[in-house]
Structure 1
Amino acid sequence: MQVWPDEDEVRVIVCVGDFDAETLGGLKAASAAAIDDSGVRRIVLDIGGVTFADSSMLNVMILLLNSGRLVLAGIMPPQLGRLLEVTQAGQLFTIADTVEAARGL
């Protein structure tokens, strides 16, 4: 996982790899920091590199969503898409094709 520096008050968190209860530490820390930073007007979660996600990641995504500042970016990985479909949570999220597009929302 990588966090891009704020540009135009947008925090980008890049997710790559598997995300479950045991591997969420970095994502949780980056998410909490973004939520707590009052200078961040938009949080972009780049999901294009996610290879596995379970309900633990979905919980972090919902926490970010509740901040009112979240936009997902990237082509939806099949496994994450399936998780959002099964839980019917997909309709809750704003999704942009690219990080650049998400910055503009």
Structure 2
Amino acid sequence: MTMYDAVTTGDDAAREPGPKQQESGADGAPSPVFRERRDGTEVLTLSGDLDLDVVDEITPVLDAALAAQPDSLVIDLSGVTFADSSALNMLLRTHARTSLHLGGPLHPVVRRLFEITGIESVLNLHDSPAAALQAAARTQR
């Protein structure tokens, strides 16, 4: 059994997850991803540095959220302090699969990466997770 089994497999995947719970990573450290459903929308809250290793840890949870076939997905980036090209790739691939809404505010390092790459003109960025959730709800109607 992996740390994601309770969140991503069996009957739990069909039900709305309960309150946000902190998972532990492979090394016992807090997981960089939390998954929950708010108002019928899948929400992932990411934190820390999003590099290749962390993106690999997030991917199973992201795939499970997408397997729930949401009309839209919210990713809260307000706790992300760094992102590299693997994080950008993950966001773009997710954007191609569903209506993706990102909530900030973005850390200055992450904001700069988005500006340099031009990704902010492609993705739906919002000032807060609440604003992202509201926009996602509007796309579901």
Question: By the TM > 0.5 criterion, same fold?
Answer: yes
Q: Normalising to structure 1: TM-score of the pair?
A: 0.88
What CA distance in whole angstroms lies between the structure 1 residues aligned with 2:62 and 2:35? Answer: 12
Aligned 1:1-105 pairs, distance under 5 A: 1-38=32-69, 40-105=70-135
User: Any unmatched runs of 5+ in structure 2?
Assistant: 1-31, 136-141
Instruction: Report how many residues are paired.
Output: 104
Say which structure is richer in strand.
Answer: 1
Q: Could you tell me how far 1:15 is from its partner in structure 2? A: 0.9
Question: Could you tell me how far apart the structure 1 residues matched to 2:59 and 2:113 are?
Answer: 19
Provide the residue aligned with 2:15 in structure 1.
none
For structure 1, list consecutive stretches of 5 or more residues without a partner in the other structure: none
Q: Report which structure shows greater RCO (CA 8 Å, sep ≥6).
A: 1
Residue deviations 1:44-68 (CA, integer Å, cap 9, x gap): 1100111111000000000111123
- List 4+ stretches of structure 1 deviating above 6 A: none
Rg larger in structure:
2
Query: What SS class does the counterpart of residue 104 from structure 1 fall into?
Result: helix
Output the TM-score relative to the length of structure 2: 0.67
**In 1, Cα distance between equivalents of 2:131 and 2:49:** 25
